[in-house]
Structure 1
Amino acid sequence: MFWKTVSRIRAKVKTQQKEGATLDTSSEKFGRTNNTIIPFDERRFQALENSKKTSQQAVANVMGVSQSTVWRWKKKKHIRKHTNATKPLLTDTNKNDKLLFCISSCIYDEQTNAFKFSDMSNIVHIDEKLFYLTITQKTYYLTPGEPEPHRKIQSKRFIPKIILMCAVAKPMYSNEGELIFDRKIIIFPFTAQVLAQRRSKNKNRGEPETKLIQSITKRHIRSILIDNILPAIREKWPEGASKTIYIQQDNAKPQILDNDPVTP
């Protein structure tokens, strides 16, 4: 396309030279062909609804200009790109609970005779996370003669998934700066031992097998909290650390309340 344009302009110049006319290589297209810069109207732009300013194409349509003009406005920093995230809708009760939590995190320091925030070294954070055992497309870096990996799954639409419960805390150091607690407590899968209902190539009927728990309920959270997390905290917690330990959970429905009658 470029060489066709050059050849056309060259032929046009030779014709004009033979006729003795003034050389003119301007475009023969109809309409506006000059590079007149369209000024940016800040008041008009700010008066637009935010729903009409979600892309450069939308801005160009509502402002009656081309996308290249919008791009120039962006390059000259007349407009800027902003990624907007939703904010939580807090009620008065939510705000009050947050305030009480902040107040409860304050401790009185007798040396400075003032209040300060707790270092939260006695708080254990627990949360569950879902992982798929594999993905349909995976990238590997291989040598030219290296064989490609052969991965097999029974169904691409229903890939098995596993849910893990993780418990971590703030790392602790001694007075000499030596690490005495690496913050890792336990990570445990939600699995159950059940008897096989039918015979297969892997096991006979009635033999125990490990099954992944796909739906987590309060009973599963309570069981893993009592049988796994609390013993792991007792085992790995440093000797000189605080013996009053708080377990912080997220806002998921299956979580255990602090006044649960079964939890010790």
Structure 2
Amino acid sequence: MTDEERWEIYHALLARSINGKLKEYHTTEVSNLFSVPLQTVQKIWRRAKNTPNGEAVDVSHKRKGNCGRKKNHIDLSRIVDVPLRRRKTLQSLAASLDMSCTSLFRCLKDGLIKRHTNAIKPSLTENTMRVRLEFCIFMLDRSTMPDHPKFNVMHDVVHIDEKWFYMTKRQSLIIFIPLKKLHRIALVKVHPVQRKIRNRAAGTMELKPMTSIKREDIKEFLIEKVLPRIRERWPREDFGKPIYIQQDNARTHVDPTDEYFRAAASQQGFDIRLMCQPPNSPDLNILDLGFFNAIQTLQHEVCPKTTEELVYAVKNSFDEYSSKHVNRIFLTLQSCMKETMKVRGSNDYKIPHLKKAIMEK
């Protein structure tokens, strides 16, 4: 019987009472009306009558909160003594505490313990933190210092990096080099099919990804693909000003002092320079900071079955990504550099929430 039904029985008895007294047939009448045992009706009325003066009548269940198996007391303070490597799963933590995983899950459900995820950040040396700090200062507009420092508009920086795009989540197929919002270049080559199969004859030219990338391959793509795109699309009013191609410190990347590249980069009067971002600093590159993930999310909405379809899907995703969203990633990059300078080059900071969509209104 619910508390609502008990209260209805009490009010029915109270309505039939005269000066707090009932006739003998009243309890039987209410018992038949609600189809409950006579003793239950009598207990409800007796409990109401025995309420001390000055206290509110309460005919609700007394068993509420006082029935069922009693909870075992769990000393959650012992979790602090468990190493972090043993707290990655409930099963591992339960084994360390010598308790059942079900009991630990109840604590999680009741809010007594919480899950916490944290991105693993690389450990930085003092020299790396100094380089990170110098890199962020280099991105400041000298004309605004020291009173009101602001970042450069970064129109003269081209971010490049390699990225595996997947046809499925298990099969890796292709690498891309995006050039800010200029272009994207697929690191693929055409090879003849060596054997005859059902759908292709031997000798048919097939597009295949470059599964092994060497420094000479990167240099070739920079000189033959990236530099011509920059010269073709760079605004004429900025002709002659330095243009920086920012890359990370991968071993396969071209040395900024490479004479062959510098000769090619200075052709037609352009001043194109290679620069390396600080080591262990993916937060100082817009590609790793968010652009690659955004492109791959759009690409996964298509289901390519061949390398050609995958290349087309990635290129189409790149073209569909709006410049407004690219600008938001650059704002995030500037906020990361600002936080980096606050912590003296360290990566021990949280990316602030800037409400970029509101700022655009």
TM-score, L = length of structure 1 = 0.60
Deviation at 1:73, TM superposition (A): 1.5
Q: State how far apart, in whole Å, the 2-side matches of 1:75 and 1:197 are.
A: 57
Amino acid across the alignment from 2:249: N
Choose which of 154, 158, 162 in structure 1 pairs with 2:174: 162
Choose which of 133, 142, 165 in structure 2 pairs with 1:108: 142
Report the counterpart of residue 225 of structure 1 in structure 2: 222
Contact 1:166 1:188 in 2 (8 A): yes
- 1:50 and 2:84 aligned: yes
Relative to structure 1, the CA distance from residue 44 to residue 161 in structure 2 (aligned partners, 3 Å threshold; closer, same or farther) is closer
Relative to structure 1, the CA distance from residue 167 to residue 41 in structure 2 (aligned partners, 3 Å threshold; closer, same or farther) is same
Q: State how far apart, in whole Å, the 2-side matches of 1:71 and 1:233 are.
A: 56
Deviates more, 1:53-62 or 1:216-225: 53-62
Q: State how far apart, in whole Å, the 1-side matches of 2:169 and 2:145 are.
A: 59
Match of 1:106, SS state, is coil
Q: State how far apart, in whole Å, the 2-side matches of 1:111 and 1:60 are.
A: 55
Contact 2:193 2:202 in 1 (8 A): no
Contact 1:164 1:188 in 2 (8 A): yes
Match of 2:161, SS state, is strand
Q: State how far apart, in whole Å, the 2-side matches of 1:160 and 1:44 are.
A: 44
| Per-residue Cα deviation, 1:62-103 (whole angstroms, up to 9, x for no partner) | 334333321221123221112244321212221121111112
Amino acid across the alignment from 1:238: P
In the alignment, structure 2 segments of 5+ residues that lack a partner are 1-66, 266-361
Amino acid across the alignment from 1:226: I
Choose which of 57, 72, 77 in structure 1 pairs with 2:111: 77
Amino acid across the alignment from 2:94: A
Report the counterpart of residue 238 of structure 1 in structure 2: 235
- 1:86 and 2:84 aligned: no
Report the counterpart of residue 19 of structure 1 in structure 2: none
Choose which of 245, 253, 256 in structure 1 pairs with 2:254: 256
| Per-residue Cα deviation, 1:31-71 (whole angstroms, up to 9, x for no partner) | xx952123342432212222332322333333343333212
Deviation at 1:105, TM superposition (A): 1.3
Deviation at 1:203, TM superposition (A): 5.8
Contact 2:174 2:210 in 1 (8 A): yes
Amino acid across the alignment from 1:213: M
Contact 1:218 1:255 in 2 (8 A): yes
Deviates more, 1:39-48 or 1:221-230: 39-48
Q: State how far apart, in whole Å, the 2-side matches of 1:211 and 1:56 are.
A: 44
Contact 1:107 1:118 in 2 (8 A): yes
Relative to structure 1, the CA distance from residue 219 to residue 81 in structure 2 (aligned partners, 3 Å threshold; closer, same or farther) is same
| Per-residue Cα deviation, 1:191-223 (whole angstroms, up to 9, x for no partner) | 4467x697866465xx98766432111111111
Report the counterpart of residue 291 of structure 2 in structure 1: none
Deviates more, 1:48-57 or 1:213-222: 48-57
Amino acid across the alignment from 2:220: S
Relative to structure 1, the CA distance from residue 35 to residue 131 in structure 2 (aligned partners, 3 Å threshold; closer, same or farther) is same
Report the counterpart of residue 15 of structure 2 in structure 1: none
Match of 1:131, SS state, is strand
**CA RMSD of superposed structures (Å):** 3.4
Structure 1 or 2, whichever has the larger Rg, is: 2
| Per-residue Cα deviation, 1:126-167 (whole angstroms, up to 9, x for no partner) | 1222235x4499xxxxxxxxxxxxxxxxxxxxx783333221
Report the counterpart of residue 65 of structure 1 in structure 2: 99
Amino acid across the alignment from 1:52: R
The aligned runs of 1:158-237 (5 Å cut-off) are 161-168=173-180, 183=181, 185-192=182-189, 202=201, 212-237=209-234
Q: State how far apart, in whole Å, the 2-side matches of 1:220 and 1:254 are.
A: 9
Report the counterpart of residue 323 of structure 2 in structure 1: none
Q: State how far apart, in whole Å, the 2-side matches of 1:74 and 1:109 are.
A: 54
| Per-residue Cα deviation, 1:106-135 (whole angstroms, up to 9, x for no partner) | 223359953322232221111222235x44
In the alignment, structure 1 segments of 5+ residues that lack a partner are 1-32, 138-158, 169-182
Q: State how far apart, in whole Å, the 2-side matches of 1:39 and 1:252 are.
A: 53
- Structure with more strand by fraction: 1
Deviation at 1:254, TM superposition (A): 1.0
